[in-house]
Amino acid sequence: MERPDWMRLAVAAGNELHHLKQPIARHNRINLVSTALLLVALVGIFAVGAVLPPWLFVPLGSMALGCVLLGVFVLVVHECSHGMYLLGADRAAAKRLNHQIGRLVGDLTFTAYEEHWERGHVAHHLYPCEPGKDPQDPDPIDGARFWRRAALHLVPGYSVIANPSRRYGLKPRRLLLSVGLWGGIAVLSGLSLGWAGPLVVLYGFNAVSMLNLLKKVQEHGAGLAEVDEPLMRSRTYFYPTQRLTSPFNIHYHWEHHANFSVPWYLLPEYHARVRSLMPAEIAEATSTRGLLAYFRQINGLRRPPAPARPAPEALSA
């Protein structure tokens, strides 16, 4: 199917915000300062554990750790996979640096960076939600399947089973670095905070897995995988806690799939540009606004406009 004029214009509008057109020093400063704030937040979680009772620290600390870990994945691992975490005048050297940083952070977070992100995320953009082609989200779940999967996150250590990197095999380097880092954090937090510290580490990984499940159902669930046009298989979504639980503007997901060269901090501007180009009914179909619509998406009730595969005349209106 030939893409309609508005869609071609929307994709092209992202080229004006391309990461290679951004001032290198400013871009790198934004990402490095943001990364430093994530590290401060990580330390802060366990500092707060010293003043909260364990029954309160475990749920709040676990969710906070999950938000920080998701932030690390979105800001560092995800942006590295697109070659735009850090920029440099020498593009080849910058590409190598992004690879090295992404691999290191992946190795420290039980994540197969090269397989699941450098190669897998590119495939996700080319063939979103296509079984056998998209290794990251081949079967977006919603409704009853979502709730059954969500309930499993109450089981301690479920994130080990849910971790998609398991499919790529056990790599000694990744295992040693990840267990060394998080095992060390668990031991130190246990010595200072008692049993609640290690439990927060354990459930923190469950929390990031749960947040990722929520993210995926908003991005590609509720029948979007059935749409012929790959670009129409994504939704942008807004809800009250998006800055914490969908950090670094990842909720501007239609825009990110339209042009993945736009850095995260420019996605709001890109969103404003593309919405002005879209027909009203398409803008409505590609976004979720408010808590009620958020839960309707989770339950698979916000289906694509009938028929599921947009008619060419509707898209070109």
pLDDT in tens, 53-107: 999 999 999 999 999 999 999 999 999 999 999 999 999 999 999 999 999 999 9
Contact present, 35 and 102 (Cβ < 8 Å): no
Amino acid 196: pLDDT: 96
Backbone angles phi, psi at 87, to 5 degrees: -105, 165
Distance CA 271, CA 266 (A): 9
Give the SS3 label for residue 238. strand
Query: Is 106:113 a contact under the CB 8 Å cutoff?
Result: yes
Tokens of 274: 């593309």
The residue extents of the domains of the chain are 5-315
pLDDT in tens, 105-118: 999 999 999 999 99
Left, alpha or beta for 129 (phi > 0: left; psi -120 to 50: alpha)? Answer: left
> What's residue 314's pLDDT?
41
Query: Quick one: tokens of 283?
Result: 């803008």
Would you tell me how many other CB atoms lie within 10 Å of the CB of residue 212? 19
Q: Let me know: does 75 contact 264? Beta carbons within 8 Å.
A: yes
Q: Coil, helix or strand for 308?
A: coil
Predicted pLDDT at 1: 59
